[in-house]
Amino acid sequence: MLSKAILTLGSLTLALGSCGYFFTEAPDETPVAVAYESDQTPAKQPNVILIVADDLGWAELGCYGQEKIKTPNIDRMASEGKRFTDFYAGAPVCAPSRSVLMTGQHMGHTYVRDNHEIGGWGDDDGEGQLPLPEGTNTLGSMMQSAGYETACVGKWGLGGPDTIGEPNNQGFDHFFGYLCQRQAHNFYPTHMWEDGERVDYEGNVFKNLTGKHYSHDLMTEDALGWVGENSEKPFFLLLTYAIPHLALQVPEDSMEPYYGLWDDPPYDGKKGYLPHPTPRAAYAGMVSRMDRDVGRLMDLLAELDIDDDTIIMFTSDNGATYDIGGANSIFFNSGGGLRGSKGSVFEGGLRVPLVVRWPDKIKAGSVSSTPAAFWDFMPTILDAAGAPPSTTTDGLSLMPELLGTGDLPAREYLYWEFPAYGSQQALRMGDWKAVRRGLKKNPDAPIQLYNLKDDIAESTDVAADNPEVVAKAAALMKEAHVPSEQFPLPGVDTQ
């Protein structure tokens, strides 16, 4: 039975119970938090760890077909859990994808829809990106309301120092890492941030290839320590690693296994990133180092005897980077035959890995081809915690799919828009993928249509043969897009 007490204060309606919160609508349609108590709440709330890599391509893990880079620990996650083949990032670049993750809203609704830089590219030129507004219902704040200890460790990109967008103001009890995604281009930073305080690193020099303190290792140690300190109560850890985003920087011990395996011509640094003598070994070494530390985290869960009580998820914020800065997506087959890369709304810019492990709950070695996306994380994680979903989310809980307990509710489409890179829209409905590009120059740019079941590479535009599908996609794109004052969509909002 649902047990709650109701309190009305003017336009604000609260339901007061003994466990957690859910969101309802006030008369002005502003979502407000209300408490709840429900029989659906599990006797023991599971811990949740969500690991998000940065620019990791769909096929850069062994469990997704990678043959050159070794990722045994994430592959073990897949063999002991479930791997999704048709999972999508929130956006094709960093900050908006994180906004989708945090708000549970797709790109037609979420607040941050592009990288919006505040400050400059020098080490002391100011830092940060457009901050999330005050009062945003974030995944962090909703997990706090559900009774969880919360932490974000890694790269943030949704508000710089002394702004309302800082993680500690957006639902996280603890933060350590990069507030600014420009600073995250350097893995030997002069400083990072911990709970609003700047932490300086002696021995690291701005734009040096090597240094004394490697940011990824610092993040890992902080995450391991925080889990150890909070293992007696339900916790939510958002671990947003910066690997394998450029620049190519990694300690020698991670490159050594790859030396001499392939031809590895040096990168000269002409396209804006640090030069590197062995860029392919460095890239592979970065991914393998991240994989090593995913393994350390899983080992810690076992040591603390909370392995069976912890859901651990691994994904990437967008597709593999384009071939600059020494990265070579063609050499590593980073997209696994998908078209496009980071910055593109073709599959290669949006489709990413998702591996989920929950011992004795998720069938080991299972695979899902159900289309899903970043905006599903919020309702999925809240469902696992026993909390009702936010009324503002565009997502669905994937728990029935993860646990094999039933079919997901019908969903008509997945939608993306991206005002940069010429202005783009994309929509997936069933096996159909509709794409509009170059809207800034041509507001009447036609919809391209692909059948992903037969053409995962999006090589053959079949729009001319399917006018009714094109018309439906056009109508849904119009429905999904709500204009944004901060991020107008060129070619759409100007029509």
pLDDT digits (tens, 9 = 90+) for 126-173: 899 999 999 999 999 999 999 999 999 999 999 999 999 999 999 999
Structural domains in the chain plus CATH codes: 5-36 (no CATH), 47-403 (3.40.720.10), 414-480 (3.30.1120.10)
Determine the pLDDT at residue 32. 32
Pairwise CA distance, residues 171 & 363, whole Å: 32
Regions of the chain where pLDDT drops below 70:
1-43, 495
Determine the pLDDT at residue 363. 97
Determine the pLDDT at residue 253. 98
Determine the pLDDT at residue 6. 28
Residues 305-321 pLDDT 10s: 999 999 999 999 999 99
Both tokens of 399, joined, read: 């728990």
Determine the pLDDT at residue 489. 97
* Residues sharing a CB contact under 8 Å with residue 233, sequence separation 6 or more, in sequence order: 149
Pairwise CA distance, residues 78 & 188, whole Å: 31
Q: Are strands 82-88 and 366-368 parallel, antiparallel or unpaired?
A: parallel
Q: Are strands 197-200 and 82-88 parallel, antiparallel or unpaired?
A: unpaired
Instruction: Classify residue 90 as left (phi > 0), alpha (psi -120 to 50) or beta.
Output: alpha
Determine the pLDDT at residue 103. 98
pTM of the model: 0.91
